[in-house]
Amino acid sequence: MAFVPYDRPVRVAFVGLGRIYDLNVRGYLGNRDVEVVALVDPSEERRAQRAADWPAARTFASAAELASSGIEVDAAEVLLPIALHADGVIEMLGFGWHVNLQKPMCNDLWDAQRMLDAAKAGGRILRVMENYLFYEPLRQLKAIAESGEIGDISGYHIKMVGSGRGGWDVPWSSFELQMEQMKRGRGIFVFDDGWHKLATAIWLFGPIREVRAWIGNTAVGPGIDLDVPTTILWEHDNGVRGVWDATVAMDLYLRSDYYTNDERWEITGSKGYARVNRCTGRGIQQPSLEVYADGEMRGYHALDDDWASSFRDSGRHWLRWLHTGDGPLRWSGEEAVNVLRFALAAYASSASGGAGVNPGLVS
């Protein structure tokens, strides 16, 4: 079934009203492309809290209740815990809803294939949103790399330090879900936050032919393990190499309106470099993007470098896409599987002591 663009506001249900709703909602507020018709969460407290944003929407404890309510839904904004992504998305695609899903898509390739199959069978669109691709400093970084301004690309480096102090409150229940994921071998650094880092690599320099990884473990409390220190290296099909190192600094205070991630992206070119100094948190207080070439440093002082804006723009992109069907989804379900393969290759490499693994061959 070919996708037919909408010529009226898209009727959307939010499914999952937890922490990240606060940012996903930004693409929806004041957006004429959409009409929010329903809010779904088993938590009565969450339903009551979010209903204040959408007085005309009805609330439900489950997607199934909504589906049998008679309310017409075109698309779901799916903000479920990761372990519920596959079954939840398949259920919603089965109701005939398009789906905009939070990352990570799911934990393994089997679930990913089931999701793709369900979308295809029902002729529905499955998008796995990647807000980092909408973060203005990173978009500008990509444009600079492609412009030739810093010469031919020699390589790049991503850095991530998770700090233990600062930022917004994260409900303990969200941490518990992450600990469950850790027990499944899908930790918060490599798989949850790492999904973004790996996605930006594919977005910047294309398909990857080899991955090497050393994934560590740090116990930070009874039964609470983190998948750091971790270093992942890879080579793209075009020969460009990347490296990402992730560490934790439990006692480090990081000013942040959101999570306490101290992040950087740096691309080295044959005649200069370009560096994004921060993203989620307010780490380095220099301009969010700096470019050095030919002996001169240029700082970008007027970019929209509020991390939340990347959610707003990702959401707007999706809702506009539903009205046109044109252009990239960032990401389609199929593209998201490449990110999953990248992560799975890192796990396979680390398990084998750091051997090179082709993400196209993981199972």
Binding region for ligand NAD (CB under 6 A): 15-20, 40-43, 46, 62-63, 79-82, 84, 102-103, 131, 171, 173-174, 177, 192
CB-nearer residue toward ligand NAD: 260 or 268: 260
CB-nearer residue toward ligand NAD: 181 or 268: 181
Q: How far apart are CA 209 and CA 248, in angstroms?
A: 28
Considering the complex, what minimum distance in angstroms separates the CB of residue 5 from ligand NAD?
Answer: 26
CB-nearer residue toward ligand NAD: 66 or 357: 66
Considering the complex, what minimum distance in angstroms separates the CB of residue 133 from ligand NAD?
Answer: 11
Considering the complex, what minimum distance in angstroms separates the CB of residue 129 from ligand NAD?
Answer: 7
Considering the complex, what minimum distance in angstroms separates the CB of residue 150 from ligand NAD?
Answer: 28
Cβ burial, residue 320 (10 Å; 0-12/13-18/19+):
middle
Secondary structure (3-state) at 28: coil
Amino acid at residue number 151: G
The answer to whether residues 339 and 331 touch, using CB atoms and an 8 Å cutoff, is yes
- How many angstroms separate the Cα of 297 from the Cα of each of 144, 187, 239? 14, 37, 27
Q: How far apart are CA 35 and CA 54, in angstroms?
A: 9
CB-nearer residue toward ligand NAD: 150 or 158: 158
In degrees, rounded to 5, the angle at the alpha carbon of residue 197 between the alpha carbons of residues 248 and 188 is 45
Considering the complex, what minimum distance in angstroms separates the CB of residue 182 from ligand NAD?
Answer: 13
CB-nearer residue toward ligand NAD: 146 or 176: 176
> What token pair was written down for 226?
């983190």
Nearest to 92 by CA among 66, 110, 61: 66
The answer to whether residues 241 and 154 touch, using CB atoms and an 8 Å cutoff, is no
Considering the complex, what minimum distance in angstroms separates the CB of residue 49 from ligand NAD?
Answer: 10
User: Residue 291 forms beta bridges with which residues?
Assistant: 274, 298
Considering the complex, what minimum distance in angstroms separates the CB of residue 17 from ligand NAD?
Answer: 5
Over its C-alpha atoms, the chain yields an Rg (Å, rounded) of: 20
CB-nearer residue toward ligand NAD: 31 or 310: 310
Residue spans of beta strands (DSSP E) within 216-308: 218-221, 224-226, 230-236, 241-253, 261-269, 272-276, 289-293, 296-300
H or E element at residue 37: strand 34-40
CB-nearer residue toward ligand NAD: 176 or 237: 176
Considering the complex, what minimum distance in angstroms separates the CB of residue 118 from ligand NAD?
Answer: 17
With b for 16 or more beta-carbon neighbours within 10 A and e for fewer, the 123-142 pattern comes to: ebbbbbbbbbbbbbbbbbbb
CB-nearer residue toward ligand NAD: 195 or 273: 195
Which residues are CB-contacts of 34 (< 8 A; sequence separation ≥ 6)? 9, 10, 11, 12, 28, 319
Considering the complex, what minimum distance in angstroms separates the CB of residue 149 from ligand NAD?
Answer: 29
CB-nearer residue toward ligand NAD: 177 or 201: 177
CB-nearer residue toward ligand NAD: 47 or 124: 47
Considering the complex, what minimum distance in angstroms separates the CB of residue 338 from ligand NAD?
Answer: 17
Secondary structure (3-state) at 256: coil
- Residue with nearest beta carbon to ligand NAD: 18
